[in-house]
Amino acid sequence: MKNIIVHLNKTFDHRVRLGIMSILMVNDWVDFKTLKEMLEVTDGRLASHIKALEAEAFIEVRKQFLGRKPNTSYSATVSGRKAFNDHLDALEKLLKMRD
Amino acid sequence: MTQNKQHHLNTLSEIRSLMERSSRFISLSGLSGVVAGTIALLGAIVAYIYLEIIPFDQERIYYVEAPLATKWGLNFIQFFFLDALAVLLTALSAGIFFTTRKAKQQGLKVWDATSKRLLINLLIPLITGGVFCLALLYHRLLGFVAPTTLIFYGLALVNASKFTLNDIRYLGISEIILGLIALFYLGYGLEFWAIGFGILHIFYGAIMYFKYERKEAVTF
C-alpha cells in the first residue's frame, strides 16, 4: 500500500493543479485567460497554482505581445508530462486495489 | 466502495472531461446537420424546377441545360448563385442556432479556443475548394463543379474533425468518396449534390443527435 502512495505526486494534490495539467497535456500552448475560463477560478488562485507547477518545472511559460496586449501562455514540459502520467497510473492502481 | 476510491474516481473523470473540453469543440449539434440537409434538399428541388429536368434523367444533362435556362428572369449563374446563397445562409443560421443552444445546455461557451481552431481548420480546405470551383466556372468546366465541392468539403470535414466530435470524420470521408464517384458520372452532379449535402447531412446529423443529445434532452 505504502509503495503506491509514494507515487502519488504531492504537487498534483489539488483540483486546480490537476486541471491545469489536464488541459496542458492535450494542448500545445494555452493562455492564462483560457485556463481561467476552463477551470472557473479567480486570477489570484490560478496564478498561485501556476507558480507552484512552474517551481517544479512541470510547466513552462511564454510571454509575448499580441499587438499591444501582453499575452502569457503555458505548456507542459517533458518532466511535467511524465510526472502527471505517473500520477494518473498511481491513481488507477489505487482504484484497482481491493477495498 | 470507500470514500477515498470515490474521490479518485471523481478526479479521473474530471481530468478526462477537462482534456476533452479543452481540445475539442463538443457542442456541435446533430440537429444542425438534419436541418442543413433538409434545406439543401429543398435547394436541389428548386434547381430541378428551374432547369425543368427530372432527377436521374440523362436525356437532358443539367450542365448542358443550365446555360440555356432563363426562367424567372434569371440566367443560370444568377439563379445558382441565389439558390446556393439562400441554402448556405439558412443552413448556417440553423447550425449556429442549434449549436449555440446545445452549448448553453452544456454550460459551455460557443466561441472559445476550440471553436476557433475548428473553424480555421475547416476553412483552409473549404476556401481552397471555393477558389478552385471559381476557376472551373471561369474555364466553363461546369460539370466538374459539383464533384469538386463535395471532395473539398469532405477534406475540410476530415481536417476539422480532429477538433470536434469524431463522427464528422466519417461524414467527411463519405463526402470525399461520393465526390470521387461523381467525377466519373458528370451528368449526375445535382443528384450527387442532393445526396452529399442533403441526405448525408440528415443521416449523420440524426446519428449524432441520438448518440449525444437525446439522452441529455430527456433530463431537461
DSSP assignments along A28-67, one per residue: S-EEHHHHHHHHT--HHHHHHHHHHHHHTTSEEEEEEEET
Asked if pLDDT for residue B43 goes beyond 70, the answer is yes
B215 to chain A, any CB pair closer than 8 A? The answer is no
Q: Domain A2-96, CATH 3.30.9.100 — does that match?
A: no
Residues listed for chain B: 220
Residue B24, domain member (yes or no): no
Q: Which residues of B touch A39 (CB under 8 A)?
A: 18
Residue B183, domain member (yes or no): yes
The stretch B136-140 carries a mean pLDDT of 89
Residue B169, domain member (yes or no): yes
Alpha helices in B24-138, H assignment, sequence order: 30-51, 62-65, 76-106, 113-138
- CA-CA distance, B163 to B146, in Å (whole number)? 27
- CA-CA distance, B99 to B86, in Å (whole number)? 20
Cross-strand bridge partners of residue A64: A71
B22 to chain A, any CB pair closer than 8 A? The answer is yes
What is the count of structural domains for chain B? 1
Query: Which of B1, B2, B22 is facing A38, going by the closest CB pair?
Result: B22
Strand order in the sheet with A59-66: A30-31, A69-76, A59-66
What confidence tier does A88 reach under pLDDT thresholds 50, 70, 90? Answer: confident
- Model confidence, pTM: 0.76
Residue B9, domain member (yes or no): no
Per-residue model confidence as pLDDT tens digits over B69-108: 777 877 777 888 888 888 888 988 988 888 888 888 877 7
Q: What is the pLDDT of residue B215?
A: 65
> Domain range holding B138?
30-209
Q: What is the DSSP letter of B194?
A: I
A1: exposed, middle or buried (Cβ count in 10 Å: 0-12, 13-18, 19+): exposed
CB contact under 8 A, A30 and B22: yes
- CA-CA distance, A39 to A46, in Å (whole number)? 9
The stretch B114-120 carries a mean pLDDT of 85
Nearest CA in chain A to B112: A34
**Residue B198: closest CA among B47, B26, B66, B28:** B47
Query: Which of A23, A92, A94 is facing B18, going by the closest CB pair?
Result: A23
Residue B200, domain member (yes or no): yes
In this structure, the strands spanning A59-66 and A69-76 are antiparallel
Neighbours of A26 (CB within 10 A): 15
Amino acid at A72: T
CB contact under 8 A, B8 and A34: no
ipTM: 0.75
Asked if pLDDT for residue A99 goes beyond 70, the answer is no
Residue B133, domain member (yes or no): yes
Residue B199, domain member (yes or no): yes
Q: Which residues of A touch B112 (CB under 8 A)?
A: 34, 37
CA A21-A26-A27 angle, 5° bins: 95
Asked if pLDDT for residue B220 goes beyond 50, the answer is no
Element (H, E) at B10: helix B3-23
Asked if pLDDT for residue B219 goes beyond 50, the answer is no
Where do the domains of chain A lie? 2-96
Q: What is the pLDDT of residue A98?
A: 61
| CA B90 to chain CA mean position, Å | 13
The stretch A56-85 carries a mean pLDDT of 89
Contact at 8 Å (CB) between B69 and B60? no
Residue B13, domain member (yes or no): no
CB contact under 8 A, B1 and A99: yes
